[in-house]
């Protein structure tokens, strides 16, 4: 069956699901379809489905029925609160990474290895511990005795993803062509973001490398534990990692029953986030409650335990600097500095008027800062700024969107654990310390120390490099002198040629004049005078 026919069948099925959940009104509201809008009344689901259910809930239920890729797309959409209506964003945020598991996972794992399954695993639980849209995980034990988690990709998932992403692009193009709201939401851009993050998750060896990098960053830390990766058993479709044992952070009742210090737990979550962003420039960008567990052996100093490293964020040193400077300027209410930083960073176009952008930022921030600092939401502050930035054609960087999404998760989770969490009180000292480390004598000495290996390589080669450079300069000067001499000779030759031409022209003119009247001495005299003038001009 060719690709076009497959997409057509899938398209018909999607239309059926949308109609079933009363979302046909969204499609039929497109102006191009107005002539056939009456067909909605011929759909049996039009009379059966409960249209009193909110549109956001109906959309969420439809995405679940359409399958794992649409569920994941809904999750991605839920992070774009700067673009989506609030009711739809809230509903899509309820989507969980739980879809029906696939069978024969053991066979899929065995297929990924060249050696017999029994020589690697002593036991393998074929009942999935958890199942997501891209992969699912199983509990197992290695023949060497370690308890592990095995994560395996769904069969044919890449083919399914490519098929459905192709359809998503087609829907987005149609929607943007005929719907003002879709153009405002930048639907094609949203599908592009979704495609990039999803295709990255299809290579589990990349996820394993992300986990190793994060573990190395927190090596010896009492804040965050990252599972050990068993690299000999990692392929592009299978990861084998340490089986961690902890309390799911969403199980707040159990954490309270165990008498865990909830204030410390909430503050540590914020500290982990800012440590990843400002110390490492590399952060876990999918820290929702399903991916976080708590080691409660020390209830006064609980340790976070993270899983699922498919989506990671990274900041350049420039983005890192501007982000820290912006946050500090916000809380000092220095809105002009905020506007200048946005211009300097290139986040808004260079032609943006500083005064206008400053006024817009003030309009967003002042109502927020009228509340106590502990009640101020970092995530909502960034969201409102993104919304304002859109009006000034601000191009929001993907890494900043991941940052905002992660901050929403951390902030919401922290306030669930400890409602009186003052996010700013926790973050402010961290930011101040980071800024002090970036400026001043110590920072310059540290940069000098970091560049010493480079200078150690360059300095021995410096004399030869200087000598080579001087030779090039001398050759350039000699070449320029020769070029100038040649140009001078050419000019001199041109002048001589012109002089000769004028001389010939004068002689010819004189001959013509004399030929007319050889006996006219006055004309001969005037001819000689004209010739003398021509020679004088030529020589000059």
| Average pLDDT score, the chain | 78
- What pLDDT is stored for residue 520 in this prediction? 46
249 within some domain: no
- Residue 242, H or E segment: strand 238-242
Active site residues: 286
- Which two three-digit tokens encode residue 216? 């190395």
Determine the distance from the C-alpha atom of residue 194 to the mean position of all C-alpha atoms in its chain, rounded to a whole number: 11
**Residue where a domain terminates, one of 33, 65, 96:** 96
Q: Is the pLDDT of residue 462 over 80?
A: no
State which of 17-26, 206-215, 367-376 shows the largest mean pLDDT: 206-215
Q: 74-78, 220-224, 302-306: which has the minimum mean pLDDT? A: 74-78
CA distance 285 to 310: 9
What predicted TM-score, i.e. pTM, was given to this entire model? 0.69
Q: In this prediction, what percent of the chain has a pLDDT beyond 70?
A: 72
CA distance 382 to 447: 31
CA-wise closest residue to 505 among 482, 538, 484, 531: 531
CA-wise closest residue to 154 among 219, 195, 103: 103
- What pLDDT is stored for residue 207 in this prediction? 95
Q: Is the pLDDT of residue 37 over 60?
A: no
CA-wise closest residue to 272 among 261, 284, 263: 284
252 within some domain: no
Where is pLDDT greater, at 97 or 471?
471
525 and 428 within one domain: no
- Which two three-digit tokens encode residue 421? 């969490």
- What pLDDT is stored for residue 63 in this prediction? 86
- What pLDDT is stored for residue 250 in this prediction? 85
280 and 206 within one domain: no
Q: Write out pLDDT tens, residues 404-460.
A: 778 877 888 888 888 888 877 777 777 777 777 766 566 566 656 666 666 666 667
400 and 535 within one domain: no
Q: How many domains does the chain have?
A: 4
Q: Is the pLDDT of residue 228 over 80?
A: yes
434 within some domain: yes
Q: Write out pLDDT tens, residues 337-393.
A: 988 988 888 778 888 889 999 999 898 888 877 777 667 777 777 777 777 777 787
CA distance 296 to 245: 10
- What pLDDT is stored for residue 521 in this prediction? 47
256 within some domain: no
- What pLDDT is stored for residue 518 in this prediction? 40
Pairing state of beta strands 135-142 and 121-124? antiparallel
Task: Specify the CATH number for the domain of residue 169.
Answer: 3.30.200.20
Mean pLDDT for 17-35 is: 63
Binned at pLDDT 50, 70 and 90, residue 511 comes out as: very low
State which of 77-86, 176-185, 199-208, 315-324 shows the largest mean pLDDT: 199-208
- Which two three-digit tokens encode residue 140? 């197992």
470 and 420 within one domain: no
304 and 433 within one domain: yes
Where is pLDDT greater, at 97 or 394?
394
511 and 367 within one domain: no
**Residue where a domain terminates, one of 96, 128, 149:** 96
Mean pLDDT for 199-226 is: 93
446 within some domain: no
- What pLDDT is stored for residue 9 in this prediction? 80
Give buried/exposed letters for 206-232 (b at 16+ CB in 10 A, else e).
Answer: ebbbbbbebbebbeeeeebbbbbbbee
Binned at pLDDT 50, 70 and 90, residue 180 comes out as: low
Q: Diameter of the chain by CA atoms?
A: 136
Contact yes or no for 263/418 (Cβ under 8 A): yes
255 within some domain: no
Contact yes or no for 109/150 (Cβ under 8 A): yes
Q: Is the pLDDT of residue 519 over 50?
A: no
253 within some domain: no
**Residue where a domain terminates, one of 96, 117, 145:** 96
- What pLDDT is stored for residue 516 in this prediction? 40
- What pLDDT is stored for residue 47 in this prediction? 56
- What pLDDT is stored for residue 173 in this prediction? 86
67 within some domain: yes
Where is pLDDT greater, at 37 or 264?
264
308 and 237 within one domain: no
106 and 9 within one domain: no
Residue 126's alpha-carbon distances to 96, 130, 138, 243, 290, in angstroms, are 22, 11, 7, 16, 21
105 and 90 within one domain: no
Contact yes or no for 401/84 (Cβ under 8 A): no
390 and 296 within one domain: yes
Where is pLDDT greater, at 86 or 282?
282
422 and 331 within one domain: yes
Q: 112-116, 214-218, 318-322: which has the minimum mean pLDDT? A: 318-322
137 and 211 within one domain: yes
Rg (alpha carbons) of the chain, rounded to whole number: 37
- What pLDDT is stored for residue 449 in this prediction? 66
Residue 345 neighbours by CB under 8 Å, 6+ apart: 318, 319, 322
Q: Write out pLDDT tens, residues 111-166.
A: 999 889 999 999 999 999 988 878 999 999 999 999 999 999 988 888 888 888 88
Residues of the domain holding 505: 462-539
Q: 41-50, 87-96, 358-367, 392-401: which has the minimum mean pLDDT? A: 41-50
Binned at pLDDT 50, 70 and 90, residue 480 comes out as: low
Residue 379 neighbours by CB under 8 Å, 6+ apart: 404, 407, 408, 411, 412
């Amino acid at each position: 069956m060719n690709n076009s026919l497959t997409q057509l069948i899938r398209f018909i099925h999607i239309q059926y699901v949308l109609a079933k959940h009363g979302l046909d009104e969204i499609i039929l509201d497109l102006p191009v379809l107005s002539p056939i809008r009456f067909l909605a009344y011929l759909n049996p689901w039009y009379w059966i489905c409960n249209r009193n259910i909110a549109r956001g809930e109906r959309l969420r239920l439809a995405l679940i029925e359409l399958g794992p890729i649409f569920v994941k797309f809904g999750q991605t959409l839920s992070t774009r609160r700067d673009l989506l209506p609030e009711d739809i964003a809230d509903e899509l945020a309820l989507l969980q990474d739980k879809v029906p598991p696939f069978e024969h996972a053991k066979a899929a794992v065995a297929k990924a290895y060249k050696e017999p399954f029994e020589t690697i695993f002593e036991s393998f639980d074929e009942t999935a511990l958890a199942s997501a849209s891209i992969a699912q995980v199983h509990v197992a034990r290695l023949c060497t005795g370690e308890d592990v988690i095995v994560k395996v990709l769904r069969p044919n998932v890449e083919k399914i993803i490519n098929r459905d992403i192709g359809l998503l692009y087609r829907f987005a193009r149609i929607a943007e062509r005929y719907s003002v709201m879709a153009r405002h939401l930048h639907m094609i851009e949203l599908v592009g973001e979704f495609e990039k993050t999803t295709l990255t998750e299809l290579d589990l060896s990349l996820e394993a490398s992300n986990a190793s990098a994060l573990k190395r960053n927190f090596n010896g830390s009492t804040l965050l534990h990252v599972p050990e990766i068993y690299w000999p058993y990692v392929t592009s479709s299978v990861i084998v990692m340490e089986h961690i044992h902890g309390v799911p952070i969403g199980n707040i009742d159990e954490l309270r029953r165990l008498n865990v210090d909830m204030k410390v737990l909430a503050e540590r979550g914020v500290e982990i986030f800012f440590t990843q962003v400002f110390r490492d420039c590399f952060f876990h960008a999918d820290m929702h409650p399903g991916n976080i567990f708590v080691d409660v052996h020390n209830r006064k100093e609980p340790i976070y335990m993270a899983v699922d490293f498919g989506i990671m964020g990274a900041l350049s040193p420039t983005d890192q600097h501007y982000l820290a400077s912006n946050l500090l300027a916000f809380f000092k209410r220095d809105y002009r500095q905020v506007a200048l930083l946005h211009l300097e960073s290139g986040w808004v176009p260079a032609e943006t008027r500083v005064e206008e952008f400053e006024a817009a930022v003030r309009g967003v921030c002042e109502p927020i800062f009228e509340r106590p600092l502990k009640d101020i939401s970092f995530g909502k502050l960034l969201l409102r700024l993104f919304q304002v930035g859109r009006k000034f054609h601000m191009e929001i960087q993907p890494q900043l969107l991941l940052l905002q999404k992660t901050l929403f998760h951390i902030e919401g989770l922290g306030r669930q654990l400890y409602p009186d969490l003052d996010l700013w009180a926790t973050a402010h000292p961290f930011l101040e310390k980071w800024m002090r480390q970036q400026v001043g004598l110590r920072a310059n000495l540290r940069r000098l120390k970091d560049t010493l290996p480079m200078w150690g390589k360059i300095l021995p080669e410096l004399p030869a490099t200087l000598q080579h450079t001087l030779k090039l300069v001398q050759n350039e000067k000699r070449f320029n002198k020769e070029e100038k001499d040649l140009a001078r000779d050419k000019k001199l030759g041109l002048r001589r040629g012109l002089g000769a031409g004028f001389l010939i022209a004068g002689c010819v003119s004189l001959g013509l004049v004399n030929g007319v009247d050889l006996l006219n001495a006055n004309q001969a005299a005037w001819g000689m005078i004209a010739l003398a003038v021509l020679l004088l001009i030529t020589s000059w």
